[in-house]
């Protein structure tokens, strides 16, 4: 069983600010990393995937991966109230199985 | 294109009762998964099926059984429900990438909220 740890939160930021979510993982062999967003009472949906060291940007979202330090982060720029959700970090391993962190709940205040 | 469909959406069971959660996907994915999510926690893998005809235990398989009926359908059975099995259950599917290929996105059903009293 691989371990995935996320900053516990909850995290509250004002509208327009940058929200920073962090995730560390135990398996140095991990190659793929995913961030899912889960609105209250809904199912998780993928927002970002990253496979290589460095930054990957998609609109207001940036994923950062540092394999040497075994962490992956998600930055949300110009945070909006609609970004209020729980963000789950997922690290796949073996036969497509994934270990999920416990999630960080983000609240963006207008 | 419905994606991943779970039934039922809500269920209340009495301790000791049995039930089967149904899951079907129409994306031609080879792998399917059952997770449970307890309040304030991430998803924990119960069982998975890497391909049609195979099933394997995940992190928390005790008290559950599964059947991969065909490529589309993967069911989860609780033989004798216990209050500890009160949770939200998610079915997911994905394309299982081959060795050396990047892993792929998982698509989730809408969840089944199960309460065992």
Question: At residue A40, does pLDDT exceed 80?
Answer: yes
**Alpha-carbon distance A30 to A78, whole Å?**
30
Backbone angles phi, psi at B84, to 5 degrees: -65, -15
**Any long-range contacts for B35-41 (C-beta under 8 Å, 24+ apart)?**
B35/A100, B35/B89, B35/B90, B35/B91, B35/B92, B36/B60, B36/B85, B36/B87, B36/B88, B36/B89, B36/B90, B37/B87, B37/B88, B37/B89, B37/B90, B37/B111, B38/B87, B38/B88, B40/A102, B40/A103, B41/A102, B41/A103
Question: At residue A2, does pLDDT exceed 70?
Answer: no
By the CB < 8 Å criterion, does B34 face chain A? Answer: no
How far is B93 from chain A, CA to nearest CA, in Å? 10
Backbone angles phi, psi at A82, to 5 degrees: -70, -10
Mean pLDDT of B42-48: 94
* Separation of CA A26 from chain center: 16
Cα dihedral across residues A19, A24, A28, A30: positive or negative: negative
Q: What integer pLDDT is reported at residue A44 of this predicted model? A: 96
Q: Which of A43, A85, A89 to mutate to test the interface with B (most CBs of B within 10 A)?
A: A43
Question: Which residues 47-106 in chain B show a CB within 8 A of chain A?
Answer: 48, 50, 56, 58-59, 90, 94, 96-97, 102-106
Distances (CA, A) of A69 to A25, A65, B8: 9, 9, 43
Question: What is the interface size between A and B, counted as CB pairs within 8 Å?
Answer: 63
Q: What integer pLDDT is reported at residue B100 of this predicted model? A: 62
Contact between A75 and A83 (Cβ < 8 Å): no
pLDDT digits (tens, 9 = 90+) for A58-97: 999 999 999 999 999 999 999 999 999 999 999 988 777 8
How far is B16 from chain A, CA to nearest CA, in Å? 27
The pLDDT-based confidence of B18 (bands split at 50, 70, 90) is very high
The pLDDT-based confidence of B43 (bands split at 50, 70, 90) is very high
Question: At residue B105, does pLDDT exceed 90?
Answer: no
């Amino acid at each position: 069983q691989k371990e995935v740890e996320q900053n516990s939160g909850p995290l509250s930021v004002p509208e327009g600010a940058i929200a920073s979510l962090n995730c560390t993982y135990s398996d140095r062999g991990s190659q793929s990393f995913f961030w899912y967003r889960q609105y209250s009472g809904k199912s998780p949906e993928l927002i970002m995937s990253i496979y290589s060291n460095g930054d990957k940007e998609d609109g207001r979202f940036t994923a950062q991966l540092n394999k040497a330090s075994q962490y992956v982060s998600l930055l949300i720029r110009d945070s909006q109230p609609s970004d209020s959700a729980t963000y789950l970090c997922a690290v796949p391993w073996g036969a497509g199985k994934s270990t999920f962190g416990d999630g960080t709940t983000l609240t963006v205040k207008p | 294109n419905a994606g991943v469909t779970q039934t039922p959406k809500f269920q209340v069971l009495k301790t000791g009762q049995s039930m089967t959660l149904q899951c079907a996907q129409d994306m031609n994915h080879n792998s399917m998964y059952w997770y449970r999510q307890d309040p304030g926690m991430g998803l924990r893998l119960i069982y998975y099926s890497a391909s049609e005809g195979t099933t394997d235990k995940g992190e928390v398989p005790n008290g559950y059984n599964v059947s991969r009926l065909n490529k589309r359908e993967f069911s989860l059975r609780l033989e004798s429900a216990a209050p500890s099995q009160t949770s939200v259950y998610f079915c997911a599917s994905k394309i299982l990438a081959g060795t050396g290929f990047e892993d792929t996105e998982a698509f989730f059903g809408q969840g089944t909220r199960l309460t065992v009293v």
